[in-house]
Amino acid sequence: MSEDFNLRQFFGAVDRFRERMICSQPMKFDVDILSLTMSQQRLLRELLLQTGPESEGISLKNLADELNLSSSAVSVMVEMLVQKKVLERKSSEVDRRQVLIRLSDAAWESVALYDAACRMCFSDFSEEELSLLRKISERLSQSGNIDISKTTKLHKGE
């Protein structure tokens, strides 16, 4: 890793960018999707990938399987997000016994507003800059799959 690369500076810049983007936008999110915990954001991201605004939803079991978590852990998160009006539960139209989880309409609106704000923030980036940002994002995503036990060895200089 280059001596010039400073992880704290990088993530500090990302945080400042995100904060400026959120604070500078003259919009009010009906559902505060930005204050969710990392686990809740992960659940939200999975629902965004698995469903759409017109989707009936996904079962709790399928959601738990996708997240590689227990159904009880996902159930607790879903309950908190239902209370925050981010998610809603709905009986399946095919099988009334099955309960499906989906983003609330207000959450979909907040996601759309946040997406629009992000697009505005990146609108003056060149294609080259956007391409580089995508590559960096992909690399950060890939590097998240590391064995944490190795970090203590790196820290100790082994």
3-class DSSP state for residue 145? coil
pLDDT at 39 over 50: yes
Distances in whole angstroms, Cα of residue 67 to Cα of each of 7, 62, 76: 28, 9, 14
Instruction: Say how many residues make up the chain.
Output: 158
Q: Which residue has the higher pLDDT, 25 or 18?
A: 18
* 31-144: CATH architecture: Orthogonal Bundle (1.10)
What is the model's pLDDT at position 21? 64
Give pTM, 2 decimals: 0.66
Average pLDDT, the chain: 79
What is the model's pLDDT at position 70? 93
Burial 15-41 (b: 16+ CB within 10 A, else e): eeeeeeeeeebeeebebebeebeeebe
Helix (H), strand (E) counts: the chain: 7, 3
**What is the tens place of the pLDDT at every residue in 49-76?**
888 888 889 999 999 999 999 999 999 9
Asked if 103 and 109 count as a contact pair (C-beta separation under 8 A), the reply is no
Q: How distant is the alpha carbon of residue 79 from its chain centre?
A: 18
Give residue limits of the domains in the chain: 31-144
Q: How distant is the alpha carbon of residue 91 from its chain centre?
A: 25
